[in-house]
């Protein structure tokens, strides 16, 4: 029951995101707006909502499953792009390498070193 209640909460925020996107003509998806609204609401509330927690964890675990059907489509169009394999390879493999490198360097230069307690918490995994 609490999972369903939590799910209803998620749908409520999703619809809220939809309404906001339509009202203000934002090019952002309803899901992300809903996520930001949910975070903001929890911050204002100051504590976790039990039903939400019950549904969020399993649903987040399903993300990979939910993306997968879309990925299947690539096998059906891949043939049209074989002649551009070099561009695709460079963009996806080298491009991602460069952007990961930039993010890591920027972020680790700017981030103060973690306190002892955090490091201990991090080491275990």
Partner 1 sequence: MILESLKQQLLLTPYLAIALTLSAFFLGNYLFQKMGRPTWCPGILLAALLVGLFLGLMQISYQEYQQGAAWLVALLGPATVALGVPLYQQMHHIRRLWRPILLTLPLAAMLAAFYSVFLAWLAGGSSVLLASLAAKSVTAPIAIGITEQLGGQIPLLMGGLLITGVMATLWVNLLCRALQITDHRVIGFALGINGHAIGTVRAFEISPTAGAFSSLGMGLTGVFTALLLPWAWNLLGLAVVA
Question: Which positions from 32 through 71 interact with partner 1, judged by CB under 8 A?
Answer: 32, 34-39, 42-43, 48, 52-53, 55-57, 59-71
The distance between the two most distant Cα atoms of the chain, rounded to a whole number of Å, is 55
Radius of gyration of the CA atoms of the chain, in A: 20
- Provide the angle, in degrees to the nearest 10, between the axes of the packed helices 30-45 and 2-23: 120
CB neighbours (10 Å) of residue 51? 18
Closest separation between CB of residue 2 and partner 1, Å?
14
Q: Could you give phi then psi for residue 34, rounded to 5 degrees? A: -60, -40
Our CB check for partner 1 shows the closer of 1 and 125 to be 125
Our CB check for partner 1 shows the closer of 19 and 78 to be 78
- Helix or strand run (H / E) with residue 18: helix 2-23
Closest separation between CB of residue 17 and partner 1, Å?
7
Contacting partner 1 within 81-100 (CB under 8 A): 81, 84, 86-88, 90-100
Closest separation between CB of residue 40 and partner 1, Å?
8
């Amino acid at each position: 029951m609490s999972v369903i209640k939590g799910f209803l909460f998620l749908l409520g925020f999703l619809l809220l995101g939809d309404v906001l996107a339509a009202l203000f003509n934002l090019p952002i998806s309803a899901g992300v707006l809903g996520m930001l609204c949910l975070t903001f609401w929890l911050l204002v509330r100051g504590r976790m909502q039990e039903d939400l927690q019950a549904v969020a964890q399993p649903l987040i675990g399903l993300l990979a499953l939910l993306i997968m059907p879309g990925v299947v489509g690539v096998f059906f169009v891949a043939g049209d792009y074989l002649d551009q394999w070099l561009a695709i390879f460079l963009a996806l493999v080298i491009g991602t390498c460069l952007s990961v490198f930039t993010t890591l360097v920027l972020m680790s230069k700017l981030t103060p070193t973690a306190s002892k307690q955090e490091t201990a918490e991090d080491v275990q995994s």
